[in-house]
Structure 1
Amino acid sequence: MEIAEFEQWLFTEGKAAKTIESYVNDVKGFQSYLQEKLKDVPVLSRFSFVRYKEHLMKEDYTVSTINKKINSLKVYNDFLRTKEIVCESFIQLKRDRIKIASGSEDNVDALSDEQVEQLLFYVENRNKVSTRNKLIVYLLLYTGVRVSELVGIKIVDIDFLTNQLTVIGKGGKRREIGLRQDP
């Protein structure tokens, strides 16, 4: 019953469906760990959280996966506090998230200058590339929008007077992006 209530609370908080699914699955994983390993420990405590975090590290989960699970449990902790099931925050993200050593972040593949030149040269060929697809390439290259943001852009999202593009990002957040004008 508690998980269903948590799910409903996330929905009323305006969380996206995928976010809700992720949080719920992470909390279910935590609860099954509690039942399996720490049979008589309450739902969430500092002790159970620390043991679970140690378990995740021993199981060689990636840092980003562990931090995602910690974040989910922090939101769950907030839910339990609003329902007065627990009376304190057992998880502080600044203290509990695993720090990534500088320089050890995942490498991100980016196009080289030469590859960008080749792509731009290719999209200029009107016989091969439609205006729509050319626009998609330019928006991705020059604005930094996510693909999920790109597919939601409508003509009304462009302010031609100020050269601003408004996109709806993750979590329904609106952001404005300046558009440059070629001479």
Structure 2
Amino acid sequence: MGKNSRYYKDLQKAKTAKIREIQDQLPLYTGGYIDSCIRNHRINTAYEYASDVLLFFRFLTAKNPRCKNKKTNEIPLDILEALNCEDINEFQSYMKASDGIRSHMVSDRTLARKMASMRSFFAYMAEKDFISDDPTLKADKNKKLVENDIKRLSTDEANRLIHAVKETKAATNRSCARSRNVSKRDLAIVTLFLNTGIRVSECVGMDVSDVDFVKNTIKIVRKGGKETHLYMNKNVQETLRDYIQNERPLLTDDPKEKALFLSLKRNRMAVRSIEAMLKKFKTSAGISDNVSPHTLRRTYGTTLYNKTGDIYMVADVLGHKDVNTTVKHYAAMDEEHKKSAAEVNLYDGD
């Protein structure tokens, strides 16, 4: 498995096709921006940016009187030229409320991401002289967004989740039987998340050949297509070996199948399948908050930092390009370190 594998090439091709479908719904003058997103960002980010731009143009058709009865790809450039910060503020309000017909009701964090897309779009349009001023520069900032409000599991919750997977509890006899058929797979996935902090996209993209029990490593493809190797601890080794040797052969009769984690349909697991699996087990584990693959990634990052105090190690293992991202999401949350710092007597006046 690598960034040039058939899996990643097919993924890139499919997502690019979806971006082009979005582009067909936008005015021609947005084409340069969409192309720049594809060139300069990983394909999932480019897709999010394109989707958010289309969402903004749909907002214009719904709320701007000059765009009434126009299709999104028919909105003239002079409409964008006339926009100001108040229009951007109205878009933010539109995303946070229901208009009686369609409800967006996005979270503060989702709104912040969509506003990042808007700032990127309008900055490009201003830089290329499509518009004279960037209306997002003076728009309201989302002050309610709390950067450090990041969900992760406590030690007890993480242990209960693992126990629930081992016990393979499910709501019905049918689902219980289905779960037993992939119990070793599910345990390997949860153990992998909690002991390496890999992203769900990195997990579903792994092939059997990416697991090296001799060198004790796994190979994954990070954001942007960079390949890296991570070392496995004993728990990861044991659960992966058990799954590969004793359960995976029952999920495929194709000796050429490369995917590491397979579904009951005998093909590579999808992201949504892993998300659904975690949702099921978090219920049987008695965890009230949502448990997503990213929750487990955050749990690993927080635990690693709390035990080592080495923010650079955490950034490296998680694949963060900028250590400030790691500091914002992990070090700032470490209340135990803050308490420890208060207990240190640096100066006593003697």
The TM-score bracket by the shorter chain reads: 0.5 to 0.7
RMSD over aligned CA atoms reads 4.0
Residue in 2 that maps onto 1:71: 116
Residue in 1 that maps onto 2:221: 168
> Which digits, 9 at most, give the CA deviation of each residue in 1:134-177, with x for residues without a partner?
6444323422223321122243575954x554422344455654
Letter in 2 for 1:113: N
Residue in 2 that maps onto 1:56: 95
Residue in 1 that maps onto 2:165: 119
- 1:152 maps to which of 177, 198, 205: 205
Q: How many residues align?
A: 174
Equivalent-residue separation in structure 1 for 2:121 and 2:167 (angstroms): 50
Equivalent-residue separation in structure 2 for 1:138 and 1:112 (angstroms): 10
2:49 is the counterpart of 1:23 = yes
Provide the secondary structure at the position in 1 that maps to 2:206: coil
Provide the secondary structure at the position in 2 that maps to 1:96: coil
- 2:191 maps to which of 134, 138, 145: 138
Equivalent-residue separation in structure 1 for 2:126 and 2:227 (angstroms): 29
Letter in 2 for 1:31: F
- 1:46 maps to which of 45, 66, 85: 85
Distance 1:72-1:153 versus aligned 2 partners, 3 A rule: same
Query: How big is the shift at 1:57?
Result: 3.0
Residue in 2 that maps onto 1:37: 64
Is the 8 Å Cα contact of residues 157 and 167 (structure 1) preserved in structure 2? no
Greater shift after overlay, 56-65 or 4-13?
A: 56-65
Distance 1:164-1:74 versus aligned 2 partners, 3 A rule: farther
Provide the secondary structure at the position in 2 that maps to 1:85: coil
Is the 8 Å Cα contact of residues 26 and 73 (structure 1) preserved in structure 2? yes
Is the 8 Å Cα contact of residues 34 and 48 (structure 1) preserved in structure 2? no
Distance 1:144-1:79 versus aligned 2 partners, 3 A rule: same
Equivalent-residue separation in structure 2 for 1:55 and 1:128 (angstroms): 46
Is the 8 Å Cα contact of residues 149 and 168 (structure 1) preserved in structure 2? yes
Point out the structure with the larger helix share: 2
Query: How big is the shift at 1:23?
Result: 1.9
Query: How big is the shift at 1:72?
Result: 1.2
Identity, % of aligned pairs? 18
Residue in 2 that maps onto 1:11: 38
Equivalent-residue separation in structure 2 for 1:56 and 1:167 (angstroms): 36
Letter in 2 for 1:42: E
Larger Rg: 2
> Which digits, 9 at most, give the CA deviation of each residue in 1:110-130, with x for residues without a partner?
8552442353477xxxx9668
Provide the secondary structure at the position in 1 that maps to 2:81: coil
Q: List gaps (5 residues or longer) in structure 1.
A: none
Distance 1:144-1:106 versus aligned 2 partners, 3 A rule: closer
Query: How big is the shift at 1:73?
Result: 0.5
Is the 8 Å Cα contact of residues 77 and 89 (structure 1) preserved in structure 2? yes
Distance 1:179-1:63 versus aligned 2 partners, 3 A rule: same
**TM-score between the two structures when normalised by the length of structure 2:** 0.39
